[in-house]
C-alpha cells in the first residue's frame, strides 16, 4: 500500500439499470457458475436503477453490505465470487483528488463496504438482483481499476452474482450468449444495438397489487430443469431460432415481429413453469386480464399494437411501438384497471411522464372521462379499482455508468452509511 | 318396411357416462374424422350421465333433437356422421313387444327423433358432449340392430361426434388408441380394466363458481396445433411413454405413480394451451388454489395423498386412493372452500354420499367444527365462501347401457317430448 495510516476511505458509486428479457432465460446448466441452458435477449430499462457505492479502507474489519439501508450478509457465494473475480483483476489505483495510491497487490487485503439502493420497490419483483449485481461489479471494477482482458469479461463476472445481471451492464438491446465453455468465459452479454436505435419504443410496467408468496427464480428454475420435459425441448429446439428472429426484429425495428416473439416467448416460459412438478405459477388472474387486453386489441386491429412479457412474477411489462400507440395503451390500462378511489394519480403512474401528458390525464377523475370506444369498453374485464398497484412508464435505457461523489451512499469520512 | 301405416313409433333409451382423461387428448391430425395427435387414457365417471332416447317413426318429417328439453339443430356434420354410420350398419329389427319389423333397407328412409338429458349441469363443463355422443351412438345402434364388424367400431363412430366420446362407451379405465389409418378405423377406445379393478378409488369433482367465457376445446385445439411448438413435442416424444406408464399404474393400482402422472399430464396439457398464440387459459386462481391444496398436502406427507386433473375449464377433478384419504380430502376442501353462507349442504356435495357420512358432515356449521391440524389450517388460502359452486363425489363407473322403457324421454305414442 502506498500510504501509512488507517484514516483513508476510497469509494466509487455506480448506477446500473434493470432489464426485461424478451427471449427468456430459465434453467442453468451449471448452478455455481450460473451458466444458462439457452441464450436470452433483453431490453435495458430506463427509470429503474440500482445505485451502489463501494468503499475500501484499512479501517474496515469485514466485508459489509447495506441493501436499501438495511444490513444483510455478504457471506453468500454470489457476493464472494463477484468480489474475488474483480479483486483478481485489480491494478494500481491513484486517487486523483488525494494522491492516495492503492497498489495492485494491496486490494486482496482490503475489506469492502457496499451500500446499494433501488429507485423502485424491491418487493415489486422487477429484476432488482440483476440491476444490483451489475452495479456492484461495475462499481468494484472502477474502484479497483480492474480491466477486462476480453470484451464482456465483466458481464461474465456479474453473471456469477445473478444470471440476468450480465445483461444489465449494457444499454439498449442486449444478448446473453449461453456460451460453450465449462469455465463460463464465453457466457457473456453483448449489446445488439444501443438504446437510440429504437428510441420510439415505449415500455409500460404494470405492477400487480396483491401478490402471493412466490417460488424464487433460483429454486424455480432448478425444479424446472429437473422435472419439465418441455423446458429442455424449448432450450434446445426452439430458443436458438427465436434468438435469431428476435435479433432481426430488433435490428429492423419490426414491431409486429418483436411483439409476436415477445408474447410467445413469455407464454412459453410460463408454460414450462406449469410443466414443472410441482407446477409453478407466476401469473395470476390479473396478469391474465392484462394479456387479454393486449391480445384482444391486437386481434381487433389485425396487427400487433402492443406486446407483453412477464418475468417470475405477476407484473406485466408492456411494449408499444411509439408515443401515439403508447397513449392509447395507457388509456386502456387506466380505464380497465383504475387506481383505488383514494389514490394519488401522480403516484399511480410514475417514471416518464410524457405519455400521461399526451393522454391528457391529470386526475383520477380524468380516467372516468376517457373516450371508451365500443371496441374496448365492451371488453369483458371488471373495472376493479386498485387491482394494479401502480404503473411505470419507461423506455429503452442506457447501461451501467459511474456517478460523481454527490451520489455516494456511504459517508466519505467513515465508509459507513450516513 | 314390414308394416303398413304411419302410426307406430319405435324407440330405445340408453345411458352413457362422462369420463375424465388422466392422459390428455389435445390436438387433431384430422379435423373431420376427429383423429388425435396422441393416444389418451380416461377414467369413466359414476354419477355423471347422459340419458338419450332415440325414436323412429314413418310419421316423422325430419331429424330432430332436444338437448335438456330444448330443441337444437341436428344439421351439424357431427350428428349426421354418427347417424349415417350407424344407419349403414343397421339390420332387420323385430320389436319384441309389438312384432313390428323394420327391415335393414328401411332405416335409411326413417327420420329420427332424439331427446337427451344430462344429470349434471351442462354449464359445468364436465364433458357433456362425450357422454352425449357416446349415448347417442349406443342408443342408435341398439335401436337399429347395428352390429360391430370389429371390436371398438362403435367407439370409432362415437369419436366422429366428439373425440373423447369414444372413451365413454366403456366402464372403468379406458384407452383411446390414436391409431395409424387415414380412415380412422383403428382410432378406437379399448377398456384397460373394468371399474371393479380399482373400486376403492374416489373421485371428487370441484365445480368452480365464477367462469369466464372460455375457448371451446374444438377451437382451442385447432389453434394449439397451429401455433404451439411444445404441443407437437409432447404428442410425439412425451405422451407415448406416459401412456405405457399410466397403463401400468392402473394395472398395479399404484396410486403414487397414478397421481404423479395424472397431475403432470394435466399441467402439461395446460402448458401447451399457454404456449398457444394467443394463449388459452382454462384454469383460474381458484383452480390454482386447489392445485396448491393437493401439492402442499402431498409434499407434507412425502407421498401422494391425492391427485388432480383439469380439462378445458377451471373445474378440478380430484382423486383419492380410498375412503379414508377421500374423507380427509373432502374435509380439507370443505374447510378451505366453504359453501356460501346460505347454501344447502345437501346441494353443495352431491353424488356418492358415503364420503360425507364418513366425514360426519351434515350441516354447513359442521364444517366450522372440523379439526384443523396446524399443517393444513396454516395453508395460505383465504377461506372465501362460495368460491366453489358445488362438489360431486364419484367413483370409477360403468360404460354405456340400455335402459328400459320407464326411462324414455320421448312420448311412446307420438315420439315427441312429453
Integer Cα distance of B241 and B233 in angstroms: 13
Q: What average pLDDT does the segment B17-34 reach?
A: 97
Closest alpha carbon to A293 in A321, A329, A327: A329
Q: Are A329 and A359 in contact, with CB atoms under 8 Å apart?
A: no
More confident residue, A306 or A210: A306
A with B: how many residue pairs have Cβ under 8 Å apart?
84
- Per CB-CB distance under 8 Å, the chain A contacts of B230 are 230, 233-234, 238, 268, 271, 275
A182 and A244 inside one domain: no
DSSP helix/strand/coil, A32:
coil
Is residue A357 domain-resident? yes
- Domain extent, residue B357, equals 202-394
β-bridge pairing B10-23 and B401-403: antiparallel
Q: DSSP label at B235? A: I
Q: How confident is the model at residue A211 (pLDDT cuts 50, 70, 90)?
A: low
Q: B338 pLDDT exceeds 50?
A: yes
Stronger pLDDT, A235 or B362, i.e. the higher one: A235
Predicted confidence band of residue A342 (pLDDT cuts 50, 70, 90): confident
From the list A234, A274, A380, the residue facing B267 with the nearest CB is A274
Q: Please give the pLDDT value at position A94.
A: 96
What are the tens digits of pLDDT across the range B101-144? Answer: 999 999 999 999 999 999 876 655 666 799 999 999 999 999 99
A21 and A137: one domain?
Answer: yes
CB contact under 8 A, A275 and B268: yes
Helix (H, G, I), strand (E, B) or coil at B203: strand
Angstrom CA distances, B69 to A206, B12, B338, stand at: 47, 17, 33
Q: Tell me, yes or no, whether A132 and A237 share the same domain.
A: no
Confidence (pLDDT) at B374: 59
Predicted pLDDT of residue A2: 44
Q: Give the helix ranges, DSSP H, for B46-200.
A: 77-87, 128-144, 153-161
> Is B277 close to A271, i.e. CB distance below 8 A?
no
Q: Is A103 on the interface with B (CB under 8 A)?
A: no
Question: Helix crossing, A153-161 with A77-87: angle to 10°?
Answer: 160
Q: Do residues B37 and B27 make contact, with C-beta atoms less than 8 angstroms apart?
A: yes
Clarify whether residues A208 and A323 are in a common domain.
yes
Chain B residues near residue A264 by CB distance under 8 angstroms: 227, 275, 277
Which residue among B271, B278, B288 places its CB closest to the CB of A271?
A: B271
Examine residue A287 and state whether it is found in any structural domain, yes or no.
Answer: yes
Distance from CA of B112 to the nearest CA of A (A): 41
B199 interfaces chain A, CB cutoff of 8 Å: no
N-terminal to C-terminal alpha carbon distance within chain A = 27
The pLDDT, as a whole number, for residue A403 is: 98
Q: Given a cut of 80, is residue A412 above it in pLDDT? A: yes
| Rounded Cα–Cα distance for residues A376 and A301 (Å) | 11
Query: Is B212 in contact with A380 (Cβ distance < 8 A)?
Result: yes
Residues of chain A contacting B277 with CB distance shorter than 8 Å: 260, 263-264, 267
Q: How confident is the model at residue A391 (pLDDT cuts 50, 70, 90)?
A: very high
Residues of B in contact with A213 (CB under 8 A): 380
What's the confidence (pLDDT) of residue A1?
A: 42
- Residues A308-327 pLDDT 10s: 999 999 999 999 999 999 99
> Is the preceding omega at residue A67 within 30 degrees of 0, hence cis?
no
> Which whole number is the average pLDDT over A6-30?
96
Average pLDDT over residues A214-239: 95
Query: Is the pLDDT assigned to residue A4 strictly greater than 60?
Result: no
Residue B312 confidence class, pLDDT cut points 50, 70, 90: very high
A233 touches chain B (CB under 8 A): yes
- pLDDT tens across A108-152, in order? 999 999 999 998 766 556 667 999 999 999 999 999 999 999 999
Q: What's the CA angle centered on B289, arms B283 and B294, to 5 degrees?
A: 105
Q: How far apart are CA B87 and CA A130, in angstroms?
A: 68
Helices (H) then strands (E): counts for chain B? 13, 17
Q: Do B230 and A229 touch (CB under 8 A)?
A: no
Q: Which residues pair with A66 in a beta bridge?
A: A71, A115
Write phi, then psi, for A195 (nearest 5 degrees).
Answer: -60, -35
**What is the Cα–Cα distance from A349 to B200, expressed in whole angstroms?**
57
Q: Which residues face A67 on adjacent strands?
A: A70, A116
Domain boundary among A145, A169, A195: A195
Which site among B279, B291, B298 would you substitute to test the A interface, given the most A Cβ atoms closer than 10 Å to its Cβ?
B279
Residue A48, C-alpha cell as written in the block: 429503474
Beta bridge mates, A93: A102
Kindly state whether residues B215 and B146 are assigned to the same domain. no
Output the average pLDDT for chain B.
93
Q: Which residue has the cell 418483436?
A: A258
Predicted confidence at residue A209, as pLDDT, reads 77
Strand B349-351 with B307-309, pairing: unpaired
DSSP class of residue B374 equals H
Which whole number is the average pLDDT over A376-404? 86
Tell me the average pLDDT of chain A.
Answer: 93
A410 located within any domain? no
The whole-number average pLDDT for the span B174-192 is: 97
Cell numbers at A107, concatenated: 486490494
**C-alpha distance from A249 to closest chain B C-alpha (Å):** 18
Tell whether the model's pLDDT for residue B380 goes beyond 70. Answer: no
Tell me whether residues B271 and A274 touch, CB distance under 8 A.
Answer: yes
Mark whether B234 and B193 lie in a shared domain.
no
pLDDT for residue B120: 75
Query: B385: closest CA among B334, B340, B326, B332?
Result: B340
- In this complex, the residue of A267, A277, A285 whose CB is nearest that of residue B274 is A267
pLDDT of residue B2: 44
Burial of residue B139, with CB atoms counted within 10 A of its CB: 0-12 exposed, 13-18 middle, 19 or more buried: buried
CATH number, domain at B78? 3.30.230.10
Is the CB of B281 inside 8 Å of chain A's CB atoms? yes
Shared domain for A30 and A164, answered yes or no, is yes
Residue B2 belongs to a domain:
no
Q: Are B215 and B131 contained in the same domain? A: no
* Confidence at residue B26, expressed as pLDDT on a 0 to 100 scale: 97
CA separation, residue A217 to residues A20, A27, A133, B203, B295 (Å): 14, 9, 16, 34, 19
Residues A190 and A210 in one domain: no
DSSP line for A126-137: SSHHHHHHHHHH
CA of A230 to nearest chain B CA: how many angstroms apart? 6
Ramachandran class of A397: left when φ > 0, alpha when ψ lies in -120 to 50, beta otherwise: beta
pLDDT tens for residues B62-73? 999 999 999 999
Kindly give, in sequence order, each residue whose CB lies less than 8 Å from that of residue B334, ignoring residues fewer than 6 positions away: B349, B359, B361, B367, B370, B391
Question: Which site among B38, B261, B267 would you substitute to test the A interface, given the most A Cβ atoms closer than 10 Å to its Cβ?
Answer: B267
Which tops the pLDDT comparison, A3 or B393? Answer: B393
Any CB–CB contact under 8 A between A237 and chain B? yes
What's the pLDDT tens digit per position in B341-354? 788 888 899 999 99
Residue of B nearest to A273 (CA): B271
Q: Give the per-residue pLDDT at A227.
A: 98
Q: Which chain B residues are closer than 8 Å to A272 by Cβ?
A: 271
Of A234, A267, A278, the CB nearest to B295: A278
On whether residue A411 sits in a domain, the answer given is: no
- Residues of B in Cβ contact (< 8 Å) with A291: 278-279
Does the CB of A104 have a partner CB in chain B at under 8 Å?
no
pLDDT in tens, A157-197: 999 999 999 999 999 999 999 999 999 999 999 999 999 99
Q: What percent of chain B has pLDDT over 90?
A: 82
User: Is B405 an 8 Å CB contact of chain A?
Assistant: no
Distance of alpha carbon B131 from its chain centroid, rounded? 6
What's the pLDDT score for residue A12? 97
Q: What pLDDT, on a 0 to 100 scale, did the predictor assign at position A108?
A: 94
Same domain, A87 and A186: yes
CATH of the domain at A342: 3.30.70.890
Verify whether the Cβ–Cβ distance A274 to B270 is below 8 Å: yes
* Closest in B279, B291, B298 to A267, CB measured: B279
The distance of A268 to chain B (nearest Cα, Å) reads 5
The Cα–Cα gap between B192 and B178 comes to 15
Q: Is residue A3 part of a domain?
A: no
Q: Do A288 and B281 touch (CB under 8 A)?
A: yes
Residue A169 sits in the same domain as residue A241: no
Contact A272, A235 (CB under 8 A): no
Write out the three cell numbers for A27: 434453467
CA–CA distance, A126 with A207 (Å, rounded to integer): 9
Predicted confidence at residue A174, as pLDDT, reads 98
- A289, HSE (Cβ side, Cα atoms, 13 Å): 19
Same domain (yes/no): A367, A221: yes
Closest CA relative to residue A52, chosen from A164, A128, A151, A153:
A128
- What would the pLDDT profile of A72-85 be if each residue is shown by its tens digit? 999 999 999 999 99
> CA-CA distance, B379 to B166, in Å (whole number)?
40
CB proximity A382 to B under 8 Å: no
CA distance B135 to B127: 13
Of the residues A195, A225, A254, the one at which a domain ends:
A195
Q: What is the pLDDT of residues A44-69, one digit of tens each?
A: 999 999 999 999 999 999 999 999 99
- What is the distance between the terminal CA atoms of chain B, rounded to a whole angstrom? 27
B320 in Cβ contact with B204 (< 8 Å) = yes
Query: Using the beta-carbon criterion (under 8 Å), do A271 and B267 form an inter-chain contact?
Result: no
For the stretch A240-278, pLDDT in tens is 999 999 999 999 999 999 999 999 999 999 999 999 999
Q: How many domains does chain A have?
A: 2
Record: contact A229-B238, CB cut-off 8 A: yes
- What is the nearest CA distance from B207 to chain A, expressed in angstroms? 18
CB of B284 within 8 Å of any CB in chain A?
Answer: yes
Contact A90, A140 (CB under 8 A): no
Query: In which residue are the cell numbers 469520512 written?
Result: A413
β pairing state of B64-67 and B70-72: antiparallel
* Alpha carbon of residue B108 to chain centroid: 30
User: Is residue B414 a part of any domain in this protein?
Assistant: no
Q: Quote the pLDDT of residue B1.
A: 42
Q: Classify residue A161: in a domain, yes or no.
A: yes
Amino acid at each position: 500500500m502506498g500510504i501509512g495510516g488507517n484514516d483513508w476511505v476510497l469509494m466509487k458509486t455506480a448506477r446500473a439499470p434493470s432489464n426485461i428479457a424478451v427471449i427468456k432465460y430459465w434453467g442453468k446448466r451449471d448452478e455455481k457458475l450460473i451458466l444458462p441452458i439457452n441464450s436470452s435477449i433483453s431490453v435495458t430499462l430506463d427509470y429503474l436503477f440500482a445505485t451502489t457505492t463501494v468503499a475500501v479502507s484499512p479501517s474496515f474489519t469485514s466485508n459489509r453490505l447495506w441493501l436499501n439501508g438495511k444490513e444483510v450478509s455478504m457471506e453468500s457465494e454470489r457476493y464472494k465470487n463477484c468480489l474475488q473475480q474483480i479483486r483478481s483483476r485489480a491494478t494500481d489505483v491513484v486517487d486523483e483528488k488525494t494522491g492516495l495510491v492503492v497498489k495492485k497487490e494491496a486490494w486482496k487485503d482490503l475489506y469492502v463496504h457496499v451500500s446499494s439502493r433501488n429507485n423502485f420497490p424491491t418487493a415489486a419483483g422487477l429484476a432488482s438482483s440483476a440491476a444490483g449485481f451489475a452495479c456492484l461489479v461495475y462499481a468494484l471494477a472502477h474502484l479497483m481499476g480492474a480491466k477486462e482482458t476480453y470484451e464482456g469479461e465483466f458481464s461474465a463476472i456479474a453473471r456469477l452474482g445473478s444470471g440476468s445481471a450480465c445483461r444489465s451492464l449494457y444499454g439498449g438491446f442486449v444478448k446473453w450468449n449461453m456460451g460453450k465453455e465449462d469455465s463460463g468465459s464465453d457466457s457473456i452479454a453483448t449489446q445488439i444495438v444501443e438504446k437510440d436505435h429504437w428510441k420510439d419504443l415505449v415500455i409500460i410496467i404494470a405492477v400487480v397489487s396483491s401478490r402471493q408468496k412466490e417460488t424464487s427464480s433460483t429454486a424455480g428454475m432448478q425444479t424446472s430443469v429437473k422435472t419439465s420435459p418441455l423446458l429442455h425441448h424449448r432450450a434446445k429446439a426452439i430458443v436458438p431460432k427465436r434468438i435469431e428472429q428476435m435479433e432481426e426484429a430488433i435490428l429492423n425495428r419490426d414491431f409486429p415481429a418483436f411483439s409476436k416473439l415477445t408474447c410467445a416467448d413469455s407464454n412459453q416460459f410460463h408454460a414450462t413453469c406449469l410443466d414443472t412438478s410441482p407446477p409453478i405459477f407466476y401469473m395470476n388472474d390479473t396478469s391474465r386480464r392484462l394479456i387479454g387486453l393486449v391480445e384482444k386489441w391486437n386481434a381487433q386491429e389485425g396487427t400487433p399494437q402492443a406486446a407483453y412479457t412477464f418475468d417470475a412474477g405477476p407484473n406485466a411489462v408492456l411494449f408499444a411501438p411509439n408515443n401515439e400507440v403508447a397513449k392509447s395503451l395507457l388509456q386502456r390500462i387506466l380505464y380497465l384497471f383504475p387506481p383505488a378511489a383514494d389514490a394519488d394519480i401522480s403516484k399511480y403512474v410514475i417514471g416518464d411522464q410524457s405519455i400521461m401528458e399526451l393522454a391528457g390525464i391529470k386526475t383520477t377523475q380524468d380516467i372516468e372521462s376517457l373516450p371508451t370506444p365500443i371496441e374496448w369498453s365492451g371488453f369483458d374485464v371488471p373495472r376493479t379499482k386498485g387491482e394494479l398497484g401502480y404503473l411505470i412508464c419507461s423506455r429503452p435505457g442506457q447501461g451501467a455508468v459511474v456517478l460523481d461523489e454527490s451520489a455516494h451512499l456511504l459517508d466519505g469520512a467513515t465508509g459507513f452509511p450516513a
